[in-house]
Structure 1
Amino acid sequence: MWRAFPRGEFVDFRETADEDPADAAGWGPERTVRAEVLRALLLDGERRDGEIPSMSVAGARITGRLDLQYATIDHPVRLRHCHFDEAPRCYAARLRELNLSESVLPGLVAHAVQVDGVVRLTRARCHGTLRLGGARITGSLYLEGAEVAAPGAAEPVLQLNQAVLGADLWAPGLRTEGQIRLNGASVAGSLNLNGARLGNPGNAALDAETLTVEGDMLVRDAEVRGWTGLRGARIAGRLDLSYTRLAHPGGTALRAGSSTIGELWLRKAPPMEGALNLRRAQLDVLLLEPASVPETVLLGDLTYTSLVPHEPAERRLPMLRRERDGYVPHTYEQLTAAYRRVGDDHAARLVQLAKQRRHRHTLPWYGRLWGLVQDVTVGYGFRPLRAAGWLLSLLALGSLAFALHHPRPLKAGEAPPFHPVFYTLDLLLPVISFGQDSAFAPHGAYQVLAYVLVLTGWILATTVIAGVTRTVSRQ
């Protein structure tokens, strides 16, 4: 190692390429390296002109604590396939590269570390806490296939709060038992958790409040046991939760209130075991399949530009009925606006009709009664054909009644011949006059019938005219 370091050569202690670092207890003393030796090399190792030194070791058992607190190291540190007896300490250190891929270690203390390159923990196995809070990494952090578990730990097992990454957080296939904390972290590239298995049942599995991701956040085909927190997060690209199972029974599985997201994809996934909270979130595109909607949602003040895939209103409305806060008018207005933007006026009217019906149940008894009358007669104005049907029924009723009992003329000898159909039309239609209603005057019960026809005619005719107007304006 002393000879290899100045020349940047690779030292491989492994007997076979597929051996497991977890079996380091059986390795001989020729494969044991004291941590203070590594520290001495990194801080004061020999330099040679024309050579670039680096620590590049594989298959070693490292005893003692590798303590690099506050150190400035200008060359790569690559300790792959190694077994650490104690957690390395890199608090506030400045490094060029840190590579602990496929190693086994009891933790890592690297708060506020600065790395002018990348940090690799690919397929590493950590049986303690990875502390990278406040880290500054100009490149990417690689955690693909890594396993992090700290049984009984009260603190998060993977701490990246307030960390700043100049590129990606690349962690497909990550396995954790405990909380991942990403509060206030900033990722200039994408965050990839595809295929991850994150477990912290009953508590936070992924707490990423105020997280900033300039690219995409990919959590496809993953399993998250515990709640996922994205309150106040800003994701410029898409948050892709396709094929992912989110489970927090009895609580809120996804907390994304007050977040700003380019696209949120919830597709080809089983319904969440827990509630979906999108209160006050702002989305450009919401890709939400009806089959993926959980039993409870919180959508108050949610705004979105597009809702895909395009589904009939009958398949979208059950989502609004699952609102935990009961009747929330804003959710109906948002869905109506989404249908109108794609030109589906029929679906938009159905949503508005459903809104009025839902609102009716919040009224006192007399308000519910009047609302029921409006619903049955004219569908709250959204069913003009129903109003036309009532008009025709009243026309038939009035024509029959006045045919059997002609009202007397106001001025005998000057009145035109009485016609029951046109007389009833005069009463029903407020904007058309056939000269019948002004020439004849009914008495008794027939006068009451005439008043009823006039009143209902105004309401129903106005509804029909409004419906025709909407149709003409769309053309």
Structure 2
Amino acid sequence: MVDDAGTGDPPDGLTAAEIGMWQAFRNGSVYDLRSGDPAVDDPHGGHPWGPERSVRARIVCWLLLDGPPALAGRVSSLKLAGVQITDPLDLAGGAVVPYTEMKHCRFEKEVLLPEARFATLRLVDCSIPRVEAARLHTEGDLHLPRCRIHNGIRLTDAHIGTDLLLNQAVVYRDRRSHSITGDGLTVGQDLQAEMMESHGELSLRGAKIGVSLSLRGSRLVNQYGRHALNAPQMTVERTLYLTPAAVGNPPQTSGTTPARGTRVQRFECDGGIRLDDGRFGDAIDFAHARLTLQNDQEISLRRVQTPELRFLGEAPRRGRVVLSGARVVNLIDRASSWPGPGGLQMGGFTYENLVPQGSFPLSRRLDWVMAATAEYNPEPYEKLATVLRNGGEDADAREVLLAKQRRRRETLPLAAKLWGYAQDWTVAYGYRPGRAAVWMAVLWAVSAVAFSRAEHPAIKPGEHPNWNPALFALDLLLPVINLGQDTYWQLNGGWQWFSTALILLGWVLATTVAAGATRLLRRN
């Protein structure tokens, strides 16, 4: 099957469908074999396509790798619609120059593109058994929107010059239970996979995205492993969107957030998400995300760095959310988005500003910290107090530190625990210093009234000041300070016990005030 004349005419041995494709290639026109019946033309349907709509894969490869010259005044390109390609399409290692676009096509066998080079490759609404494209290189886009790929996509170490589009694609798992394997993938601009269905693990380990990664409205399901999205050490220069997409006719997959009032399709993930050690230039956005986990699965953001974390989805009922070591500037969250006790870990999690959406009272914020600390850990309390204080909410910061002391008290032995209760009841560990003044005033008033109702003889008659029950009570109550009253009067019977109790209470109050003042000075 050779074009001996070198004129560009179709060689011998081609079928009628292949001759038509050959001529359309030279003309740069679309070769459309659709019948006009939507049910028949559906590449994902069960209606058979006969030889009148079939071309051999090796003829397609011939055109792309060493095709005939274009007609005068034309640019050769392969544009197919409604065509069935038989046998594997093997372009491994090839350099494809012509523009390539296939719409509504059906591939009987896998598409093999490892180490191939394209300017731009567009496969739109096609049925493909598998796409094998490790180390693929494109100068422009790689488009696979609305394609249905039955045994996974492999894009390991591929380089996409501009955009990678997977909008509304349906991708099923391969034999390793991966739907898309994109480890080491580099995308020059956007990776858009909006309203996509992934049945298996979507693996993007170490991937680099030049602008944003959008999974708006997508559904990730992996019933065969721990992770539905496995993307540790991924770098996204702008934002990772795990948010809703607008649903319209046609669906709106423009890469923008839907306007208010628009019918939307949520991002749903049935399986774990792993973004450990990732770098995100603008934000990670979980707005309205629906996350379904098993008990051993996680939303793992360990050591993630991003200016903004928008944790605004539904709280997972099982599994855990892990923020250990993550660093964010703005934490935008909602009280109902966080899991309960045992479902949150955030040791070493640092954030600079809290931007709650909706009602998020301090009591709920303290529950948030408690949910992350099954055992006492002062770090989350101190971090929250620092952020609140830096935001001018000093009273709330003191309440957080008081909650920390009360939580710590639960871990202490009995004697220390009793001393902790004393500090709490009297001066609230120094975070409510006005309470000590109230206790002192009450004790002083009660004791002054008590001493005024009884006669107390002088120890040395004629060598004593005038009896003043208020000063006498204050002299007993204040340790160290001597007001010149308590050493001149003799107390008998129960008054001795009363004065001893007053002295002890004075020491307790003074000690707790000193401890609280020391804590306040250290904090400031």
Q: What is the correspondence of 1:356-435 to structure 2 with a 5 Å cutoff?
A: 356-405=405-454, 407-409=456-458, 412-429=461-478, 434-435=483-484
Cα distance, 1:387 vs structure 2? 2.2
Alpha carbons 2:388, 2:397 under 8 Å: kept:
yes
* Alignment CA distance shift 1:17-1:294 (3 Å): farther
Alpha carbons 2:426, 2:512 under 8 Å: kept:
no
SS at match of 1:460: helix
Query: In 1, Cα distance between the equivalents of 2:59 and 2:226?
Result: 42
**Other-structure match for 1:286:** 331
Cα distance, 1:154 vs structure 2? 2.4
Query: In 2, Cα distance between the equivalents of 1:17 and 1:414?
Result: 121
Query: In 2, Cα distance between the equivalents of 1:63 and 1:92?
Result: 22
- 5+ unaligned residues in a row in structure 2: which ranges? 1-20, 244-265
Cα distance, 1:269 vs structure 2? 2.4
Alpha carbons 1:353, 1:380 under 8 Å: kept:
yes
Query: In 2, Cα distance between the equivalents of 1:312 and 1:470?
Result: 26
- 5+ unaligned residues in a row in structure 1: which ranges? none
Cα distance, 1:426 vs structure 2? 3.0
Which residue of the other structure, out of 172, 176, 183, is the alignment partner of 1:154? 176
Alpha carbons 1:200, 1:225 under 8 Å: kept:
yes
Q: Deviations over 1:116-159 (max 9, x none)?
A: 00110111111111001111011011011110113x73241101
Aligned residue type for 2:147: A
| Count, aligned residues | 472
Alpha carbons 2:427, 2:516 under 8 Å: kept:
no
Identical columns (%): 37
Aligned residue type for 2:215: L
Q: Deviations over 1:408-436 (max 9, x none)?
A: 54654343322112222233346976543
Cα distance, 1:350 vs structure 2? 1.3
Alpha carbons 1:267, 1:292 under 8 Å: kept:
yes
Alpha carbons 1:179, 1:206 under 8 Å: kept:
yes
* Alignment CA distance shift 1:338-1:436 (3 Å): same
* Alignment CA distance shift 1:84-1:312 (3 Å): same
Query: In 2, Cα distance between the equivalents of 1:237 and 1:196?
Result: 21
Alpha carbons 2:44, 2:127 under 8 Å: kept:
yes
Q: Deviations over 1:263-302 (max 9, x none)?
A: 1112252445321100111111111211111121101111
Q: Is 2:383 aligned against 1:334?
A: yes
Cα distance, 1:188 vs structure 2? 0.9
Q: What is the correspondence of 1:100-139 to structure 2 with a 5 Å cutoff?
A: 100-139=123-162
**Other-structure match for 1:3:** 23
Alpha carbons 2:105, 2:127 under 8 Å: kept:
yes
Q: What is the correspondence of 1:237-252 to structure 2 with a 5 Å cutoff?
A: 237-252=282-297
Q: Deviations over 1:49-87 (max 9, x none)?
A: 654322111110110011010111122221111000111
Alpha carbons 1:252, 1:276 under 8 Å: kept:
no
Cα distance, 1:29 vs structure 2? 1.5
Query: In 1, Cα distance between the equivalents of 2:355 and 2:290?
Result: 20
Alpha carbons 1:388, 1:460 under 8 Å: kept:
no
Which residue of the other structure, out of 399, 404, 416, is the alignment partner of 1:355? 404
**Other-structure match for 1:63:** 86
Q: Deviations over 1:26-46 (max 9, x none)?
A: 223111011000000001112
Query: In 2, Cα distance between the equivalents of 1:467 and 1:326?
Result: 25
* Alignment CA distance shift 1:378-1:406 (3 Å): farther
Q: Deviations over 1:242-267 (max 9, x none)?
A: 11111112124301111112211122
Query: In 2, Cα distance between the equivalents of 1:324 and 1:432?
Result: 44
SS at match of 2:22: coil
Alpha carbons 1:207, 1:229 under 8 Å: kept:
yes
More deviation, 307-316/219-228:
307-316
Q: Deviations over 1:178-225 (max 9, x none)?
A: 100011001010010111111013521000111111100000121101
More deviation, 423-432/371-380:
423-432
TM-score by length of 2: 0.83
SS at match of 1:251: coil
Aligned residue type for 1:303: T
More deviation, 202-211/435-444:
435-444
**Other-structure match for 2:199:** 177
TM-score by length of 1: 0.92
* Alignment CA distance shift 1:382-1:87 (3 Å): same
Query: In 1, Cα distance between the equivalents of 2:373 and 2:83?
Result: 56
**Other-structure match for 2:485:** 436
More deviation, 333-342/365-374:
365-374
**Other-structure match for 2:49:** 27
Alpha carbons 1:388, 1:464 under 8 Å: kept:
no
Aligned residue type for 2:118: L
Which residue of the other structure, out of 215, 218, 223, is the alignment partner of 1:196? 218
Cα distance, 1:16 vs structure 2? 2.5
Cα distance, 1:385 vs structure 2? 3.3
Which residue of the other structure, out of 256, 259, 265, is the alignment partner of 2:301? 256
